[in-house]
């Protein structure tokens, strides 16, 4: 079984060994400049600071995640393909309960070059596949979870 972890367990996983999976349904349905590609939603050049995807991508970049380690996926298949390609030590996954459950099952069944990654999950507050919502503060705390990082320390105690 894939190990789901709390944010306190992330402190020893370097940011460069993590991936961030975000659902494309977090994007605003009206006026999103992102373009869907084979690699997921391409948010290059987006300046919509109110967008949850923008905020969480910015948080991951600030924390030190590699830009190639962030995937905004339209569904589980692309997310799984992304994981196979990147073989991370840790996955920070934001999704609806259904996608999280299916994703965890898929990770358990996959062949890994090394150990299966640990997974930190952030469920959506409101799902429905369009204009969904996530607790931005909680997601940021999980993204930043690292020994000594003030934001994660204050939100995970």
**Would residue 1 count as lying in a domain?**
no
* Per-residue model confidence (pLDDT) at position 149: 39
Size of the chain in residues: 157
Q: Which two tokens stand for residue 35?
A: 């373009």
Number of folded domains that form the chain: 1
Tell me, what CATH number does 84's domain have? 3.40.50
Task: List, for residues 12-35, the tens digit of each pLDDT value.
Answer: 788 888 999 999 999 998 889 999
* Per-residue model confidence (pLDDT) at position 54: 96
Helix or strand (DSSP H, E) at 120: strand 118-123
CA distances from 5 to 17, 21, 43, 75 (A): 15, 16, 29, 22
DSSP 117: P
* Per-residue model confidence (pLDDT) at position 134: 96
Rounded to whole angstroms, the Cα distance separating 122 from 19 reads: 13
* Per-residue model confidence (pLDDT) at position 146: 62
Across the chain, which has 157 residues, the per-10-residue mean pLDDT values are 48 85 92 91 92 95 91 91 92 92 91 89 88 93 66 36
**Would residue 22 count as lying in a domain?**
yes
**Would residue 57 count as lying in a domain?**
yes
């Amino acid at each position: 079984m894939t190990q789901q972890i709390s944010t306190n367990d992330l402190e020893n996983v370097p940011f460069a060994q993590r991936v961030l999976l975000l659902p494309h349904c977090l994007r605003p349905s009206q006026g999103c400049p992102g373009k869907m590609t084979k690699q997921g939603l391409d948010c290059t050049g987006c300046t919509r600071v109110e967008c949850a995807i923008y905020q969480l991508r910015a948080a991951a970049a600030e924390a030190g995640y590699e830009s190639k380690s962030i995937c905004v996926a339209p569904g589980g298949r692309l997310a799984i393909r992304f994981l196979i390609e990147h073989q991370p030590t840790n996955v920070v996954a934001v999704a609806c309960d259904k996608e999280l459950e299916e994703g965890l099952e898929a990770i358990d069944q996959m062949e890994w070059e090394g150990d299966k990654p640990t997974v930190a999950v952030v469920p959506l507050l409101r799902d429905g596949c369009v204009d969904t919502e996530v607790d931005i503060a909680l997601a940021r705390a999980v993204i930043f979870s690292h020994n000594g990082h003030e934001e994660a320390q204050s939100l995970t105690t």
